[in-house]
Every structure is written in C-alpha cells, then in structure tokens.
C-alpha cells in the first residue's frame, strides 16, 4: 500500500476543508442560483433596463378600449391591491424580512419591483403602474423567458424578461409584443409591434403560475406543471384557450379540445376567485365607480359559473351480503385544465357535504357540514392539501410550507372516489344528497389574513367591512340519489 506523507495528508485535508467552505457558500448544488443573472432574487424576474418607461393600463386603454374594459376588474388587475394578498405579504415581511417581498411582488406587481418603486406592503403613495398588478405593459413587454436557466430548470417565480422598449439614437421606442404580424400602422405611432410566438404559448403564463418556496424550492403552486403533465397540454389546449375567453367558449375548449377562433379571445383571465371580485365590487361601489363595480360583478358571475362547470359527481351503492354497506361518491374533474383545485391548494377549500335520510325524512348520516363558526369538521373529505413546515408541523404561510403532508387534488380529466358507510337502523331506502362545495379559504384563515392588512388599507373605509363576514361558499355540483338498503 502506498502510504501518504503526513505533510501531504495535511495539505489534502486543508484542500478538502477549503472546498467544503466553498460549497457551503454556494447555497445548493441541486437548486443553484446565479444571483448575478437574477438580480431581483428571490424573484427570478429580469428587466432589460433602459430609460423606456412602463405605461399604466389607462394609457393603453385609450386605443385598446375593449381589452382595457375586459382586463379592468380581472384578478390580474387586482393582483397587487388584493387585501388578502396585502395581509399575507405584511405577515411575510414581519416573519422573514424585507427580501421576501421582492419574490412576491415579482408576480403581483412586476413593474413595481424592477423599478424599485414597491418596497413592501401597502398601497400608499404608489403610481398607477405599480398598483395595476399584472397589467397590459407587463404581459406585452415580455420579450422572453429564462425557464431553463432557473434553479429548478422549470418555469418558476417570475422567470420572464421584461423589455418595454429600446433606446435608439432617435430616443425611446416602445415595443409591444402580441399574436399578430404587425400591420403598417401597428401602434399608431405610440408603440412599435413585434409578432411573438411566446404569447401563443402557455410559457407566457408559466413563470407566474408555478410558485416555489423562496428558499427550499418546494412547489407551493404548480398549476403550470399540472397542466403540462395532463391531457389538455397534449392537445394544445392552453391556459389562454380556457381563461382568455367567455364561459361558453371555455366549455367548448374543455369538452371538445377545440381551440377558440381568433376573434373569441378576451382579456377576462377569469378563474375561481369569486371572493376577491366580490370584495372589490363593494369597494368600487363605495368609491362611486358603478362601471367598474359592474365589470367586477360580471367577473364574480363568471367565476361562480366556471366553478359550477368544472366538476361532476356520481353516486353509486356498494352492497355487501345483500345489504347496503356504503355509498360511493365519485368526484370528477371534467373541465379544469390542471388539478382541481389548483394553485393555492393548501388555502382553497373544496369538500364533500353528504346528507343521508331514511324514507321518513330522518337524517341518518351527515358529513362535511360547516359548524356554526364556519369551520369544517375534522372528518370532512376535502380535496386540497395540507401544508407542512420542516418540523412536520402544519403550516399555511408560503414562507413556511416546504412540503405537503396531504395532497388530494384531482388531476385533469381524473377522479377520486370517496366511500361513506351507514348505520344499520332499519331503513328500507336511503336518500343521499352530495354537494361539492368550494370557498377561497377557511373562515379562520381569511380572518387572520384580512386582519393583517397594512395600516394604509382601511377595510372599513375602502371595502365597507366592519368585520370579516361569513365567507361565501359556492355549490359546484349537487346530486341526489335513492338506494334500497337491501338487494
Ligand atoms: C396576463 C397577460 C396579459 C395581460 C395582463 C394583457 N394581455 Fe393583451 N394579450 C395577451 C395574450 C396572451 C394575447 C394573445 C391572445 C390571442 O391568442 O389572441 C393578447 C392579445 C392582445 C392584443 C391583440 C388583440 C387581441 O385582443 O387578441 C391586444 C391589442 C392586447 N392584448 C392589448 C392588451 C391591453 C391593452 C391590455 C391591458 C388593458 C392587455 N392586453 C393585458 C396577454 C395579456
Ligand atoms: C411565481 C409567482 C408568484 C409568487 C412569487 C407569489 N405569488 Fe402569490 N399568487 C400567485 C398566483 C398565480 C396566485 C393566484 C392563485 C390562485 O388564484 O389560486 C397567487 C395568489 C396569492 C394569494 C391569494 C389571494 C386571494 O385573493 O385569494 C395570496 C395571499 C398570495 N398570493 C400571497 C403571496 C405572498 C405573500 C407571496 C410571497 C411570499 C407570493 N404570493 C408570491 C403568484 C405568485
Ligand atoms: C395611440 C394608440 C395606441 C396606444 C396608446 C397603444 N396602442 Fe397598441 N396598438 C395600436 C394599434 C393601432 C395597433 C394595431 C392593431 C390594432 O388595431 O389593434 C396596436 C397593436 C397592439 C398589439 C398587438 C401587437 C401584435 O403584433 O400582435 C398589442 C399587444 C398592443 N397594441 C399593446 C399595447 C399596450 C400594452 C399599450 C400600452 C402600453 C398600447 N398597445 C397602447 C394602437 C395603440
Ligand atoms: C381546459 C380548460 C382549462 C385550461 C386549459 C386551464 N384552466 Fe385554469 N381553470 C379552469 C377551470 C375550470 C378552473 C376553475 C376550477 C379550479 O379552480 O381549478 C380554473 C382555475 C384556474 C385558476 C384559479 C385557481 C383558484 O383557486 O382561484 C388559475 C390561477 C388557473 N386556472 C390558471 C391556469 C393556468 C396558468 C393554465 C395554463 C397552465 C390554466 N389555468 C389552464 C380551466 C382551465
Ligand atoms: C406577471 C405574473 C403573471 C403572469 C405573466 C400571468 N399571471 Fe395570472 N395571475 C398572477 C397573479 C399574481 C394572480 C393572482 C392575483 C391574486 O389573487 O391576488 C393571477 C391570477 C390568475 C388567474 C386566477 C383568477 C382567479 O379567479 O383565481 C387566472 C385564471 C390567471 N391568472 C390566468 C393567467 C393566464 C392565462 C396567463 C397567461 C396568458 C397569466 N395568468 C399570466 C400573475 C400572473
């Protein structure tokens, strides 16, 4: 055996120690972050910095009034002002420090982050551009993505590049990117146009709709990857094909894998968040803006309508030894292009409420009925997830959640079966009613978030809220069936 000289061993040890020290500084080999490449880390947003300004939506609306009317009142237009968001951001900054605000704002107010205008929670003193959240001049200034260069090598945490325009010898030129080959007069002298295939891909939406824990890289919201691994992506039915159209067109995209016609695209971006539309409509009414209140209530109706068309229920009996042993409830995701529910699955609540009655109308079994305080009983069958921190304890805040202890969402065009047993009480037939119910959050969670809004957002003055009301619930599907108790 070739024995090493003690001095050489020492040198080797020193080298190894030096290498270890080096790798301790480079945070992670699996999720390596190049912070020079991503100057707004933990947001992965990039900006081709120049003196060319971002334009607030009203400026675009001067010529594009149809798109403006549709977008104004969308959840995108509320992404920054959203009081639920502001409450959570305020809590996050207190818990982790100011750096985390950049991660959040990179998606909730991208322009506010790159220009350095938004420095934390609150709305006071900010420009209309920063307040406009995900606005025209965000999406139409996106010139590319860095989806492959990210720590996860997937779209995440705002991995897109903003280029609102270029500086030339003649001065500033605004460039807006969209689906068309530019016509001669495209932009009417206000902006130049560029045809962009990115705007006809889900990749445009992906960077914001794939949210990772700021440090641990756990995918807290994974709408994009859920979609990408499902049947709609295979058939090229994109986010845009279901969310940038009216309700009837969305149903056709989902049912027939049919791409909308060019003229059918709209700027509604309507999803499931009926609560936010409702709160904002209250604020618009209070501020005397009836037009905005109307488009917010239209968004509210569209969200409820979307939820009501997303799922279906099937009830069937299970007999054992000739006796009705259980009722099986199959919950089907028939029209969501991703899991149902998606996004903030550890906050959203979707659950089954079951009531079984005998032939005399006496209730013999219930499950999933809200308590008078508005909480769900522990044995409720829910389709969402439970967040968990590093310590195996329940966690809900995005800076704490590094895993899911339970993840029960329903994949696109997939289903989950739930079995309910019955007490044998001599009934001849049972009538079972099953409801699939949805709300944005649990009552306690909503109260905690809205209770944490920064001081300049006065819930009473702006939203007319004295206290957090009982959160509204949407019944997505209601089905009834009768079963004989013996066969
Ligand atoms: C979340 C991203 C996003 C936002 C915000 C957004 N757009 Fe668009 N816009 C798109 C996409 C994607 C298309 C292409 C849709 C398609 O396939 O036709 C588009 C298309 C357009 C077009 C081409 C014509 C049309 O309607 O299809 C115009 C003009 C336009 N947008 C203007 C605006 C204006 C003005 C605003 C703000 C009031 C805005 N956009 C906000 C993503 C966005
Ligand atoms: C990668 C982009 C991205 C990042 C980063 C991000 N969010 Fe979000 N956030 C979203 C999207 C997309 C939704 C919408 C999900 C949905 O509708 O279920 C959302 C929704 C929310 C909501 C729910 C709002 C409501 O009205 O129900 C809250 C609260 C929130 N985010 C807080 C935060 C905080 C705090 C941070 C920073 C720690 C953060 N977000 C970081 C994209 C992001
Ligand atoms: C002075 C009028 C005017 C203003 C202001 C204006 N646009 Fe346009 N824009 C046009 C015209 C004209 C076209 C040509 C197509 C059309 O008629 O819709 C166009 C086309 C577009 C397209 C389609 C480009 C393509 O190739 O697909 C997008 C996207 C767009 N504008 C975004 C914006 C955004 C974002 C703003 C605000 C920052 C804005 N526009 C402000 C006049 C304007
Ligand atoms: C086949 C149609 C379809 C496609 C494709 C689709 N969605 Fe959805 N989406 C729905 C339906 C239906 C809902 C309402 C049910 C739900 O919340 O899942 C929804 C809800 C949402 C929500 C709201 C979640 C919440 O809790 O508020 C977001 C955010 C969303 N979709 C984003 C996307 C993105 C991003 C893509 C592309 C990666 C996409 N969707 C593709 C149909 C679709
Ligand atoms: C710059 C980041 C960003 C981009 C790009 C983006 N989104 Fe969003 N989107 C958000 C944020 C943030 C929210 C949530 C705002 C909130 O709830 O406060 C959201 C919410 C939504 C919702 C949910 C509405 C609801 O009711 O819950 C839908 C649907 C949606 N986006 C679709 C899209 C589609 C389709 C695209 C691509 C054409 C897209 N988004 C691109 C950031 C973005």
Domain CATH for 412: 2.60.40.10
192 and 173 in contact (C-beta within 8 Å)?
yes
Q: How far is the CA of 250 from the centre of ligand 2 (A)?
A: 24
| pLDDT at residue 19, rounded to an integer | 46
* Nearest ligand, CA 265: 1
Query: Torsion over CA of 40, 45, 48 and 49, rounded to 10 degrees?
Result: -40
Domain closes at, from 204, 228, 252: 228
Calculate mean pLDDT across residues 122-128. 95
What's the number of domains the chain is made of?
2
Residue 247 counted as domain residue: no
Q: Are residues 315 and 224 in the same domain?
A: no
Q: What is the pLDDT of residues 243-267, one digit of tens each?
A: 999 999 999 999 999 999 999 999 9
Q: Which of 187, 173, 228 is nearest to 51 (CA)?
A: 173
| pLDDT band, residue 23 (cuts 50/70/90) | very low
Cα(378)–Cα(201) distance, integer angstroms? 41
Q: Are residues 475 and 338 in the same domain?
A: yes
Domain closes at, from 169, 197, 228: 228
Segments forming the whole domain that contains residue 141: 46-228
Q: Are residues 202 and 63 in the same domain?
A: yes
Protein residue with its CA nearest to atom 23 in ligand 2: 85
What percentage of residues in the chain have a pLDDT greater than 90?
Answer: 90
Q: Which residues contact 58 (CB under 8 A, 6 or more apart)?
A: 68, 128
Residue 166 counted as domain residue: yes
pLDDT exceeds 60 at position 25 = no
- To test the pocket of ligand 5, the residue of 83, 197, 205, 249 to mutate (highest count of ligand atoms within 8 Å of its CB) is 205
Q: Are residues 319 and 217 in the same domain?
A: no
Cα(382)–Cα(406) distance, integer angstroms? 10
Cα(394)–Cα(400) distance, integer angstroms? 9
pLDDT exceeds 50 at position 353 = yes
Protein residue with its CA nearest to atom 20 in ligand 4: 271
- To test the pocket of ligand 3, the residue of 72, 186, 189, 263 to mutate (highest count of ligand atoms within 8 Å of its CB) is 186
Ligand 5 closest atom vs CA 78: 18
Q: Are residues 474 and 329 in the same domain?
A: yes
Protein residue with its CA nearest to atom 40 in ligand 3: 60
User: How would DSSP label each residue in 417-477?
Assistant: EEEEE----S-SEEEEEEEEEEESS-HHHHHHHHTT--TT--HHHHH--SSPPPPP-EEEE
Residue 153 counted as domain residue: yes
Q: What is the pLDDT of residues 463-479, one digit of tens each?
A: 999 999 899 999 999 99
Q: Which residue is it, tokens 């079951």?
A: 354
Residue 422 counted as domain residue: yes
Provide the mean pLDDT of the chain.
Answer: 93
| pLDDT band, residue 423 (cuts 50/70/90) | confident
Q: How far is the CA of 148 from the centre of ligand 3 (A)?
A: 30
Calculate mean pLDDT across residues 6-24. 48
* Nearest ligand, CA 191: 3
Residue 281 counted as domain residue: no
- To test the pocket of ligand 4, the residue of 209, 223, 224 to mutate (highest count of ligand atoms within 8 Å of its CB) is 223
Query: 195 CB less than 6 Å from ligand 3?
Result: yes
Residue 278 counted as domain residue: no
Residue 302 counted as domain residue: no
Q: How far is the CA of 137 from the centre of ligand 1 (A)?
A: 10
Q: Are residues 346 and 199 in the same domain?
A: no
pLDDT exceeds 90 at position 236 = yes
The pTM assigned to this predicted structure is 0.95
Q: Are residues 321 and 450 in the same domain?
A: yes
Q: Are residues 193 and 328 in the same domain?
A: no
- SS3 of 15, please? helix
* Nearest ligand, CA 44: 2
Query: 458 CB less than 6 Å from ligand 3?
Result: no
Domain closes at, from 208, 228, 248: 228
Cα(376)–Cα(14) distance, integer angstroms? 59
Residue 125 counted as domain residue: yes
333 and 411 in contact (C-beta within 8 Å)?
yes
Q: What is the pLDDT of residues 130-167, one digit of tens each?
A: 999 999 999 999 999 999 999 999 999 999 999 999 99
Q: 198 burial class (0-12, 13-18, 19+ CB within 10 angstroms)?
A: middle
Query: 71 CB less than 6 Å from ligand 5?
Result: no
Protein residue with its CA nearest to atom 3 in ligand 3: 63
* Nearest ligand, CA 441: 2
- E strands in 334-377: 349-358, 363-367
Cα(71)–Cα(298) distance, integer angstroms? 12
Cα(5)–Cα(13) distance, integer angstroms? 12
């Amino acid at each position: 055996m070739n024995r090493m000289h003690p001095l050489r061993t020492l040198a080797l040890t020193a080298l190894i120690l030096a290498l270890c020290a080096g790798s301790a500084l480079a945070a992670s080999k699996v999720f390596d972050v190049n912070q020079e490449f991503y100057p707004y880390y933990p947001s992965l947003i990039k900006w081709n910095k120049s003196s060319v300004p971002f334009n607030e939506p009203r400026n675009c609306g001067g010529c594009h009034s149809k798109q403006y009317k549709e977008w104004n009142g969308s959840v995108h237009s509320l992404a920054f002002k959203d009081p639920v968001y502001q409450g959570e951001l305020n809590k996050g900054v207190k818990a982790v420090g100011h750096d985390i605000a950049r991660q959040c704002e990179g998606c909730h107010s991208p322009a506010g982050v790159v220009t350095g205008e938004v420095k934390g929670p609150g709305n006071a003193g900010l420009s209309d551009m920063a307040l406009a959240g995900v606005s025209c001049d965000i999406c139409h200034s996106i010139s590319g993505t860095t989806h492959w260069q990210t720590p996860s090598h997937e779209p995440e945490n705002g991995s897109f590049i903003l280029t609102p325009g270029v500086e030339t010898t003649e001065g500033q030129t605004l460039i807006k990117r969209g689906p068309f080959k530019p016509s001669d007069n495209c932009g009417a002298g206000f902006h130049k146009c560029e045809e962009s295939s990115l705007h006809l891909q889900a990749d445009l939406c992906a960077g914001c709709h794939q949210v990772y824990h700021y440090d641990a890289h756990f995918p807290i919201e994974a709408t994009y990857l859920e979609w990408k691994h499902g049947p709609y992506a295979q058939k090229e039915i994109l986010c845009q094909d279901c969310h940038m159209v009216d309700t009837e067109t969305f149903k056709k995209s989902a049912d027939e894998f049919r791409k909308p016609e060019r003229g059918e695209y709209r700027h509604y971006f309507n999803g499931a968040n009926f609560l936010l539309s409702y709160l904002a409509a209250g604020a618009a009414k209070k501020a005397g803006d009836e037009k905005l209140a109307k488009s917010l209530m239209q968004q509210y109706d569209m969200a409820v309508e979307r939820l009501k068309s997303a799922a279906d229920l099937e009830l069937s009996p299970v007999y054992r030894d000739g006796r009705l042993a259980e009722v099986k409830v199959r919950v089907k995701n028939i029209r969501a292009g991703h899991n149902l529910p998606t996004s903030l699955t550890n906050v959203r609540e979707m659950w089954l409420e079951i009531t079984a009655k005998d032939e005399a109308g006496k209730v013999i079994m219930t499950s999933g009925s809200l308590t008078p305080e508005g909480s769900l009983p522990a044995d409720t069958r829910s389709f969402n997830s439970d967040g968990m921190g590093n310590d195996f304890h329940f966690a809900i805040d995005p800076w704490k959640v590094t895993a899911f202890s339970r993840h029960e969402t329903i994949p696109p065009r997939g289903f989950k079966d739930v079995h309910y047993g019955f007490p044998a009480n001599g009934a001849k037939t049972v009538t079972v009613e099953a409801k699939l119910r949805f709300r944005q959050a649990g009552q306690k969670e909503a109260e905690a978030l809205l209770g944490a809004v920064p001081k300049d957002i006065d819930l009473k003055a702006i939203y007319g809220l004295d206290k957090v009301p009982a959160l509204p619930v949407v019944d997505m599907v209601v089905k009834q069936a009768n079963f004989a108790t013996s066969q």
